[in-house]
């Protein structure tokens, strides 16, 4: 028998979200997108001034946001700041683990081990620590959502980026494993793999190279905007998105779909 139609909640109003790497690029766009929907936003970044600027802009537009300084590679600080933010807002519904750095290190790089360790600390280890710190709070939510940000470099690879690729592939594995582990509690865990996006991370690439790359590699023939990723993150966090978990979604303008 078909169960009766049940209207699902598509509002993020008053939901509390913790976004890392929110001073710039996709994190900043995500913080703003949530605030636009009436969510209350912890704007978290290693750059305290950048986080404060994003939070202040949200407040100036009538939203509810507070900045928190955090180096996600600092285990003790992760726990402290998650607790501080959740205590400030009175709970936590969504975690968006977005903070990241690029790690360019060809395999013969003399300090490869150091680069590897730094890359994995920021891009992968931090994600499990954030989840562990957030869980006691998320367990009190009736629509707990975790979104991890990986990369299309988790699905394919570019020479010179093995540490970055390995860390991002680790994020997809972590996402699936946590989805399976936390599903019985109603907590969803999903991963977004952005393709080439116009952010601080890609700001140093000359425009001409970007356009050429996008023309050759993506279906959309252009770089994406941070907002175009933020809106997918936001959709995964809707209370209505309650049966979607353990997925890895490329938001890449069709890069992974394109052969020629």
**Contact between 199 and ligand NAD (CB under 6 A)?**
yes
**CA dist., res. 4 & res. 26, Å (int):** 38
Residues 17, 73, 146, 178: which binds ligand NAD (CB under 6 A)?
Answer: 73
Considering just the CA atoms, what is the radius of gyration of the chain in Å? 18
**Contact between 250 and ligand NAD (CB under 6 A)?**
no
**Contact between 81 and ligand NAD (CB under 6 A)?**
no
**Contact between 54 and ligand NAD (CB under 6 A)?**
no
Q: Max CA-CA distance within the chain?
A: 64
Other Cβ atoms within 10 Å of 85 Cβ, number: 26
In 3D, which of 48, 65, 74, 50 has the Cα closest to residue 130? 74
Site for ligand NAD in 135-164 (CB under 6 A): 149, 151
**CA dihedral over 178, 182, 183, 187, signed as positive or negative:** negative
Residues 17, 19, 25, 250: which binds ligand NAD (CB under 6 A)?
Answer: 25
Question: In whole angstroms, how close is the CB of 7 to ligand NAD at the nearest point?
Answer: 34
The residues that bridge with 248 in the sheet, in sequence order, are 191
Helix (H) or strand (E) holding 54: helix 48-60
**Contact between 67 and ligand NAD (CB under 6 A)?**
no
In 3D, which of 20, 33, 28 has the Cα closest to residue 74? 20
Given 5, 164, 213, 223, which residue is catalytic? 164
Which of residues 86 and 143 has its CB atom nearest to ligand NAD in the complex? 86
* Site track for ligand NAD across 111-130, x = CB under 6 A: -----------x--------
**Contact between 194 and ligand NAD (CB under 6 A)?**
yes
In 3D, which of 199, 118, 191 has the Cα closest to residue 150? 191
Question: Do 187 and 175 meet the contact criterion of CB atoms below 8 Å apart?
Answer: no
Choices 46-54, 85-93, 177-185, 211-219 (CB under 6 A): range interacting with ligand NAD: 46-54
Choices 45-53, 76-84, 106-114, 213-221 (CB under 6 A): range interacting with ligand NAD: 45-53
Q: How is residue 156 annotated by DSSP?
A: S
Does 243 qualify as catalytic in the annotation? no
Residues 41, 197, 234, 238: which binds ligand NAD (CB under 6 A)?
Answer: 197
Question: In whole angstroms, how close is the CB of 3 to ligand NAD at the nearest point?
Answer: 38
Residues 36, 37, 38, 47: which binds ligand NAD (CB under 6 A)?
Answer: 47
Question: Do 80 and 129 meet the contact criterion of CB atoms below 8 Å apart?
Answer: no
Question: Do 61 and 35 meet the contact criterion of CB atoms below 8 Å apart?
Answer: yes
Which of residues 64 and 227 has its CB atom nearest to ligand NAD in the complex? 227
Q: Cα-flanking dihedrals φ and ψ of residue 197, to 5°? A: -125, 140
Question: What are the residue numbers of the active site?
Answer: 164
Residues that bind ligand NAD (CB under 6 A): 20-21, 23-27, 45-47, 50, 70-73, 98-101, 122, 149, 151, 194, 196-197, 199-202
């Amino acid at each position: 028998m078909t169960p009766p139609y049940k209207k699902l909640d598509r509002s993020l109003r008053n939901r509390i979200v913790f976004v890392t790497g929110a001073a710039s690029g996709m994190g900043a766009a995500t913080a703003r997108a949530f605030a636009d929907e009436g969510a209350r936003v912890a704007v978290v970044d290693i750059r305290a001034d950048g986080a404060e600027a994003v939070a202040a802009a949200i407040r100036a537009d009538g939203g509810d946001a507070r900045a928190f300084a955090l180096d996600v590679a600092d285990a003790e600080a992760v726990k402290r700041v998650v607790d501080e933010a959740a205590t400030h807002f009175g709970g936590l519904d969504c975690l968006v683990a977005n903070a990241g750095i690029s790690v360019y290190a060809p395999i013969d790089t003399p300090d490869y081990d150091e680069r590897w360790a730094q890359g994995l600390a920021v891009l992968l280890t931090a994600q499990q620590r954030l989840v562990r710190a957030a869980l006691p709070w998320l367990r009190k939510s009736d629509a707990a959502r975790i979104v991890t940000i990986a990369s299309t470099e988790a699905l394919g690879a570019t020479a010179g980026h093995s540490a970055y690729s390995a860390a991002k592939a680790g994020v997809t594995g972590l996402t699936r494993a946590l989805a399976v582990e936390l599903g019985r509690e109603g907590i969803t865990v999903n991963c977004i793999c952005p393709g080439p996006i116009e952010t601080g991370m890609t700001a140093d690439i000359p425009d001409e190279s970007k356009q050429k790359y996008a023309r050759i590699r993506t279906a959309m023939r252009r770089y994406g905007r941070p907002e175009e990723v933020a809106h997918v993150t936001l959709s995964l966090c809707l209370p209505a998105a309650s049966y979607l978990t353990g997925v890895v979604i490329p938001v890449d303008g069709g890069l992974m779909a394109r052969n020629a």
